[in-house]
Every structure is written in structure tokens, then in C-alpha cells.
A and B are shown apart, each in its own frame.
Chain A
Amino acid sequence: MNKDLEHKFISEFQEHQNIIHKVCRIYTYDQEAHNDLFQEITIQLWKAYPKFRGDSKLSTWMYRIGLNTAITLYRKSKRTIKTQDFDTVLHKIQATKYDNTEEEQLKLMYQAIHQLSDIDKGLIFLYLEDKNYKEISETLGISEVNARVKMNRIKTRLKTILNP
């Protein structure tokens, strides 16, 4: 029974794992931290999985648990040995080619995002994932109005960083 559940989870997780990589992309700066957070989110998802009834999509769950882990549960750890290693994470991401000005702008953008607070990172992440304000407010537990206000502030902030 447990083995079946495990198998089902891993297969489904494999399919949607990009969501978790993207959460890690927003919240961490190096590969080691990326792997570490990825592992913690995966464990949290697996622990919550038996209660998953399929009345919502697994991907919706993954957004929530991913963000909750990054914002609330995760503590930076120095465990380098215990972490399950996997490579090829970041070098590919950074190798994407842009034309010069765009590349420069994007670099600044990503830098600016890394300076945001944990909550703001969550908002920008959900925005980049095309989530509407209803979903954003439900995920973070704030009102839709507040989500809008906060999002506008972040946008303004990012724009000022790019056009000082």
C-alpha cells in the first residue's frame, strides 16, 4: 500500500517538478541552497501527500507547499553531506542567451528580485506563473486588495531599479 502511494507520488511529482525548481530559483542563490530547499520541499510534499484527495490539482498543492516551505518552514542548513546531490541545476539556466540590453536588464531584474522580502518573492513568483490575484491572495492568506497593492509596489520598485 505504502509502496503504491510512493510510486504514485514520485511519478506525479516527476511530472510537475519544474514548479519546485522555480520556487528554488526565486528563493536561493547558489546550487547547494537550491538542492537543499528542493529536498525540503519534496519531503514536505511527500509528508502531506497521504492527505491529498485529488479535489484540487497536485500542481496547486505544489505551489502552496513549495512557497510555504520556502517562506516559513525552511531554515538554511549547513548540511552538505546529508543533502541528496544532483547537478546540472544552474549552469543551464544562466546559459540562456539574450541580446545585450535585454540581457543586462534581465540580470538587473533577477538581482532586484533576490533583494525582495520572502513574501514579495512569493508574490512575484506567482505573478510570473500567471496566477491571478484570487489565487495569489488564497495562497498567501491575504485579501485580494492587499495582494494588488503589494504587487503594484513591487512592480514600481523593480521599475525604479531598472530606470533610475
Chain B
Amino acid sequence: MDELDLLKKDWKKQESSYPKLSYNEIYKMIHKKSSSIVKWIFIICIAEFLFWGIINLMLPEGFFDIYEKFHLKTFLTVSYVIHYIVVVGFIYIFYKNYKTIYVIDNTNLLMRKILKTRKIVNYYVYYNIGLYIILSLIFNFVMFSNSETLLDVMNPDHLEIDKEKIFTILLIAQIVAFVLMCGILWLYYRIIYGILLKKLNKNYKELENL
């Protein structure tokens, strides 16, 4: 007899040997919390939206006074307004996509929808990093081209210090902060999504490569 027929026969034979859960057992089960990957992705995405939102709100008041001295305050306010419109747009698109994830879809479609929803949050993070880089470049450009004002801000008591030195320190500090931030982000994505999406990505690739 063919091995697969043998297997099929055995599979059918076992039909009666599976346990029968009682009404109560099932009742208890449907009142437990799910730990599905979609739920985790949703929680983490919300956390990311909040994180980037809060980071912007948490900047100290005095932070903006510096920019005022460089006549950048209007520019900053306008970019903030645009930024929040974009953020709301992102959240809307994210939520719309999230809502289309439906466990009854076929496996291929379900995985595609999950990965698409996830991708939107990735774009959101890229957008934030991009914005950070562009704004840093603009501010640095403006600040260093008004070196007198910059020196005034950095050294309000007009102590006798080396001009060159202060600029070098400022530049190095900014580069270090930037590299550190990129490192943390990279680590975060490797760990969180490495763990969370490994299985999904692998299975999706297998279906796609058919």
C-alpha cells in the first residue's frame, strides 16, 4: 500500500481519539486574551506613534528661545503644523489598513495585509528620522552661518574661550548624538521586529516564491 494512503488511513482512525472539550472549558477559553502577532504589532505601532509624538511635546520651553534668536521660530511653528497633519494622516492610513486585517482571508492575503500595515509604521518612522535629519541640517546651516549669534547663545556670560574649540565641540556633540540615535533605532528594529516578524516573513516568502 502507498505510504500516503497508510498515513491517511491512520489520520482518519485517530479521529475518534481527540479529546472533547466541555462547554465550560470552551467558555473559559474564549474569555482569555489573545496573544496573536497582529495584536502585538498593533500595540507596538501605537507605542511608536506615541513615542514620536511625546518626544516632540517633551522638548523644554526654553528650547525654542534659542531658535527665536536665529529668527527660526516661524519656520519651526509652520513645520510643526505640517508635521502634525502628516502624523494624523499616518495614523488614519495605519488604522484603515489595520481594520482590513481579517483572519478569514486566505493565508497569502492575510500575511500581505499584516506586512502592509506594518510597513506604514515603518514609513512613519523613516519620515520622523528624515525630518530630524533635514531640520538638523537646516538649523546647523543657519546657526553656523550666524556664528556671532551662535557664540552669544552658547556663551551668554562672554567668558574668554576659544571660538574654534566651541564650534568643534558643538559639531562633535551633534554627530555623536546622531550616531547614537541611529544605533538605538537600528537595535530596536532588529530586536523587536526580528523576533516578531521572523516567522511571518519566512512563510510569506515561501508562498510568494512559488
Shortest CB-to-CB span from B12 to chain A, Å, is 8
Most buried by A among B30, B106, B202: B30
Which bucket holds chain B's interface residue count? Answer: 35 or more
Residues on the B chain within 8 Å of A143, using CB: 210
Residues on the A chain within 8 Å of B8, using CB: 127-128, 130
Shortest CB-to-CB span from A17 to chain B, Å, is 6
Shortest CB-to-CB span from A57 to chain B, Å, is 13
The answer to whether B10 and A106 touch across the interface, beta carbons within 8 angstroms, is yes
Q: Which of A68, A86, A102, A162 contacts B110 (CB 8 A)?
A: A68
Shortest CB-to-CB span from A113 to chain B, Å, is 8
B192 is an interface residue with CB less than 8 A from chain A: no
The answer to whether B14 and A86 touch across the interface, beta carbons within 8 angstroms, is no
The answer to whether B20 and A17 touch across the interface, beta carbons within 8 angstroms, is yes
Stretch in B32-40, B132-140, B144-152, B172-180 touching the partner: B32-40
A100 is an interface residue with CB less than 8 A from chain B: no
Residues on the A chain within 8 Å of B107, using CB: 67-68, 71-72, 119, 122, 139-141
A10-B23 contact in complex given A84-B32, A142-B210, C-beta closer than 8 Å = yes
A93 to B13, CA, bound (A): 10
The answer to whether A72 and B111 touch across the interface, beta carbons within 8 angstroms, is yes
Shortest CB-to-CB span from B204 to chain A, Å, is 8
The answer to whether A75 and B104 touch across the interface, beta carbons within 8 angstroms, is no
Residues on the A chain within 8 Å of B13, using CB: 96
B155 is an interface residue with CB less than 8 A from chain A: no
A9 is an interface residue with CB less than 8 A from chain B: yes
Contact with A along B156-199 (1 / 0, CB 8 A): 00000000000000000000000000000000000000001001
- The chain A residue with its CB closest to the CB of B7 is A109
Residues on the A chain within 8 Å of B28, using CB: 84
Summarize A's interface: helix, strand, loop or mixed: helix
The answer to whether A43 and B30 touch across the interface, beta carbons within 8 angstroms, is yes
Residues on the A chain within 8 Å of B131, using CB: none
B3 is an interface residue with CB less than 8 A from chain A: yes
Interface residues of A in 58-112 (CB under 8 A from B): 61, 64-65, 67-69, 71-75, 77, 79, 82-84, 86-89, 92-93, 95-96, 98, 102, 105-106, 109
A150 is an interface residue with CB less than 8 A from chain B: yes
**A71-B107, A158-B7 known, 12 other contacts, Cβ within 8 Å:** A10-B26, A14-B26, A25-B18, A39-B32, A42-B30, A48-B102, A48-B103, A72-B110, A75-B196, A98-B10, A141-B110, A150-B210
The 10 nearest A-B residue pairs measured at CB: A141-B108, A141-B106, A73-B36, A21-B18, A46-B30, A146-B210, A92-B17, A43-B34, A128-B11, A140-B107
Q: Which residues from chain A sit less than 8 Å from chain B, CB to CB?
A: 6, 9-11, 13-14, 17-18, 21-22, 25, 38-40, 42-44, 46-48, 51, 61, 64-65, 67-69, 71-75, 77, 79, 82-84, 86-89, 92-93, 95-96, 98, 102, 105-106, 109, 117-119, 122, 127-128, 130, 138-143, 146, 149-150, 155, 158-159, 162
